Structure 1
Amino acid sequence: MTRLVLLSGWGCDARLWQPLAEYWPEGLAISAPDWPGYGVRPPLAEPGSLAELAELADAMGNDLPADAVWVGWSLGGLLATALLDHLPAPRAVVLLGVGESFCHPAGIPETQLSVFRQAFARAPEATHRHFLRWQLAGEPDPRSAHRQLRALLGDGGGDRLSGTDPATLATGLDQLAELDNGERLARAPCPVWRVAGVRDPLLAPALRESADQRLIEAGHCPMLSQPASLAACLAGIAGVSAS
């Protein structure tokens, strides 16, 4: 049985992956653990500590096992790559909707993220709501995708922070600004796959075009707009095809 571990990004917990459930082929064992500070999982004492995060993942055993393919979406991809310095290498890492870093002059420039971080410091709930809408701009039907996201996340679908630890969210924005995995990826101890929606507004055009797998009619959140295509793509990377 091939294992896939699905890792969410900033502002969304593991419920984001639920639309894929009906599309997985046989032969895959799927897990979607929440990062600390998301869902019902308590935050880390130091939310920005990768070493503490790795210790927790290692202690939990099944969170990031070495016999699995780690699929990291957005910030989840940055964190999964950074944890390669602290944990045994998995079978492969899939970077979904993210490159070596989050900021890019032709995608999300550092100045734009800086403004967003300042806005979050002033009004975290409103800024969180704005981000949930903003990241859906590239989907074929952004309004429908937003309704779906609200239904998945519950508690007003992001109208409140849905139990997510505000300090963890603030630290996540710091990580989006600061994590650069260029050197880690250059010496990656396992295969790395890059998957992108062809309409992802958060990725620079060059990164979308150079991805190993490109999802048609999808933006930054293909798990909402193209769940069947995304599930088939990830299963194929894991070496499991639909029957």
Structure 2
Amino acid sequence: MTLTRLVLFSGWGIDARIWQPLITCLQARLAHITETDEQADKQAADEARSRPLEIIAPDWPEEGPQAESQAGSEPTTSRASLGGADTLWLGWSLGALRAEALAKKQAPAALVSLAMGPSFIDQAPFEQTLPALAPEVLEDFRAAFARNPAASWQHFLRWQASGEASARDCLRQLRELIGRHPVSREAVLAAGLAELASRQMSLAPQSELPLEFWLGKQDPLLAPGLSAALRAQGQVVVEFEGGHCLPLSATEALADALLARMGLATHVTHISEEA
């Protein structure tokens, strides 16, 4: 089934501007529709033109995104559902954990967890068989954030970029996109850290939500061995060359993977370097 709507959820301390390079890349690829003489392919191309891909990148509500599982709050783009049988959700980092919880209400066709496992840290004392970071990693960061939020946010940007082939270039691009100061209030950022400490995806074998994990091979925010452990449990895992900032470091590979996952890859030609 061809999916025609893509919803992108950003992560902790970073708003929807992180998706600008990916959206530009997707739009460029979709502008180059393959034309062939075969009638079946021509019909597919015509359908792709008549139903262009809709891309939505909502920001989470300022009043505290962690409340969505308790009070029913939703992303601020629209009070209408972002789900539906034609929709793929891509949640990056904390956005993946939030999206998985929201999907129980809004029912997208599928969810891709980008640069995030079923939980950020080990959820002891709950039974957990998948690798995650030690709780102390987040506890130390939360303590530092309480002392100096601005400096801690900057440190988090450097931490995210540290797994990329060119960490300096990635950090520069990240700052050019989102600026040098977070757009969210300190209380909202603190609440997001609390989410990272407590939120965990449900991996029920009979779940109606198709869930995939797209992970960077050098991601410093993922526990070693996570990809292999997920595969051993029968989860779908796609790995990219890159770290945590895959929307920036693996933009083209991510765009191609999304188009393939949505059933649109056959309509897209390779774009020359001059395009």
TM-score (norm 2): 0.76
Supply the AA of the counterpart residue of 1:171: A
- Distance in structure 2 (CA, Å) of the matches to 1:106 and 1:47: 25
Which protein is bigger by CA-based radius of gyration? 2
The match for 2:56 is 31
Superposed, which structure 2 residues align to 1:1-243 within 5 Å? 2-24=4-26, 25-26=29-30, 27-36=52-61, 43-44=62-63, 47-51=65-69, 54-57=72-75, 60-61=78-79, 64-66=82-84, 67-85=86-104, 87-104=105-122, 107-154=132-179, 157=180, 160-161=181-182, 163-183=183-203, 185-209=204-228, 210=231, 212-216=237-241, 218-241=242-265, 242-243=268-269
- List gaps (5 residues or longer) in structure 1: 37-42
Q: Secondary structure at the match of 2:83?
A: coil
Using the TM superposition, give the Cα deviation of residue 223 of structure 1 relative to its aligned residue in structure 2, in angstroms: 1.1
- Distance in structure 2 (CA, Å) of the matches to 1:68 and 1:200: 27
CA 1:57–1:63 in structure 2 vs 1: closer, same or farther (change >3 Å)? farther
Q: Secondary structure at the match of 1:204?
A: coil
- List gaps (5 residues or longer) in structure 2: 31-51, 123-129, 270-275
When the two chains are superposed, the root-mean-square deviation of aligned CA atoms in Å is 2.2
Supply the AA of the counterpart residue of 2:115: G
- Distance in structure 2 (CA, Å) of the matches to 1:114 and 1:21: 34
Q: How many residues align?
A: 228
Q: Which structure 1 residue ranges, 4+ long, deviate > 6 Å from structure 2?
A: none
8 A Cα contact 2:162 2:220, kept in partner? yes
8 A Cα contact 1:20 1:223, kept in partner? yes
Using the TM superposition, give the Cα deviation of residue 107 of structure 1 relative to its aligned residue in structure 2, in angstroms: 4.7
Q: What is the identity percentage for the equivalent residue pairs of Structure 1 and Structure 2? A: 41
Supply the AA of the counterpart residue of 1:97: A
- Distance in structure 2 (CA, Å) of the matches to 1:88 and 1:165: 27
CA 1:107–1:137 in structure 2 vs 1: closer, same or farther (change >3 Å)? farther
- Distance in structure 1 (CA, Å) of the matches to 2:197 and 2:185: 19
- Distance in structure 2 (CA, Å) of the matches to 1:59 and 1:124: 27
- Distance in structure 1 (CA, Å) of the matches to 2:247 and 2:77: 29
Q: Secondary structure at the match of 2:54?
A: strand
